[in-house]
Structure 1
Amino acid sequence: MTEWDAIRRTKTAVTRSTMVRDLRQLGLKEGMTVIVHTSMSRIGWICGGPVAVIEALQEVLTPAGTLIMPAHSADVSDPIDWENPPVPKKWMQAIYQEMPPFDPERTPTLGMGRVAETFRKFPGVRRSSHPIYSFAAWGAACDQIVDGHVLDDGLGQDSPLAKIYQLNGWVLLLGVSYGNNTSMHLGECCSKKLKMITRQSPILLNGQRRWVSYRDWDYHEERFSQIGHAFETDPRETKNLQIGKIGQADSLFMSQRAIVDFTANFLKQGPVHRSK
Structure 2
Amino acid sequence: MTDTEHESAARPGASRATLVAQLRALGVRDGDVLLVHTSFRAVRPVDGGPAGLIDALRDAVGPTGTLVMPSWGDDDEQPFDPERTPAAADLGVVAEQFRRLPGVRRSAHAAAFAALGPAAAEITADPLPLPPHRAESPVGRVHDVDGLVLLLGVGHDADTTLHLAELLAGVPYRTRKHVTVRGPDGAPTRLAYDENDHCCARFALADDWLRARGLQREGPVGSAHARLVRSRDVVAVARERLAREPLLFLHPLGECEECDMARASVPGA
Query: 1:190-241: per-residue Cα shift (whole Å, max 9, x none)?
Result: 1111323443222223462322314332323122012322322x2xx31x32
What one-letter code is carried by the residue in structure 2 that aligns with 1:141?
A: A
Give runs of aligned pairs for residues 62-141 of structure 1, distance below 5 A. 62-73=62-73, 75-77=74-76, 99-110=77-88, 111-131=90-110, 133-141=111-119
Query: 1:136-157: per-residue Cα shift (whole Å, max 9, x none)?
Result: 0000100000001334222011
Q: TM-score, normalised by structure 2?
A: 0.85
By how many angstroms is 1:51 displaced? 0.5
By how many angstroms is 1:20 displaced? 1.0
Instruction: Tell me if the contact between 1:200 and 1:211 (Cα under 8 Å) persists in the aligned partners.
Output: no
Query: 1:102-132: per-residue Cα shift (whole Å, max 9, x none)?
Result: 101111111100101110111111111231x
By how many angstroms is 1:18 displaced? 1.1
Q: TM-score, normalised by structure 1?
A: 0.83
Instruction: Tell me if the contact between 2:177 and 2:192 (Cα under 8 Å) persists in the aligned partners.
Output: yes
1:203 maps to which residue? 181
Number of equivalent positions: 247
What one-letter code is carried by the residue in structure 2 that aligns with 1:140?
A: P
Larger RCO (CA within 8 A; separation ≥ 6):
1
Matched, 1:189 2:167: yes
* Pair 195,265 (structure 1): closer, same or farther in 2 beyond 3 Å: same
Query: 1:45-100: per-residue Cα shift (whole Å, max 9, x none)?
Result: 11111111111111121221110000122x322xxxxxxxxxxxxxxxxxxxxx53
> d(CA) in 2 for partners of 1:55 and 1:108?
20
1:231 maps to which residue? 210
Give 3-state SS (helix, strand or coil) of 1:208's partner: coil
Instruction: Tell me if the contact between 1:196 and 1:215 (Cα under 8 Å) persists in the aligned partners.
Output: no
Instruction: Tell me if the contact between 1:204 and 1:210 (Cα under 8 Å) persists in the aligned partners.
Output: yes
Matched, 1:268 2:243: yes
> d(CA) in 1 for partners of 2:206 and 2:21?
30
Instruction: Tell me if the contact between 1:194 and 1:217 (Cα under 8 Å) persists in the aligned partners.
Output: no
What one-letter code is carried by the residue in structure 2 that aligns with 1:134?
A: A
Q: Gaps (5+ residues) in structure 2?
A: 248-262
2:260 maps to which residue? none
Instruction: Tell me if the contact between 1:242 and 1:253 (Cα under 8 Å) persists in the aligned partners.
Output: yes
By how many angstroms is 1:265 displaced? 1.7
Matched, 1:178 2:153: no
Identity of aligned residues (%): 32
1:5 maps to which residue? 7
Q: Gaps (5+ residues) in structure 1?
A: 78-98
> d(CA) in 2 for partners of 1:128 and 1:275?
33
> d(CA) in 2 for partners of 1:115 and 1:203?
26
2:124 maps to which residue? 146
Instruction: Tell me if the contact between 1:101 and 1:202 (Cα under 8 Å) persists in the aligned partners.
Output: yes
Instruction: Tell me if the contact between 2:68 and 2:113 (Cα under 8 Å) persists in the aligned partners.
Output: yes
Instruction: Tell me if the contact between 1:194 and 1:219 (Cα under 8 Å) persists in the aligned partners.
Output: no
Instruction: Tell me if the contact between 1:19 and 1:56 (Cα under 8 Å) persists in the aligned partners.
Output: yes
1:56 maps to which residue? 56
Give 3-state SS (helix, strand or coil) of 2:187's partner: strand
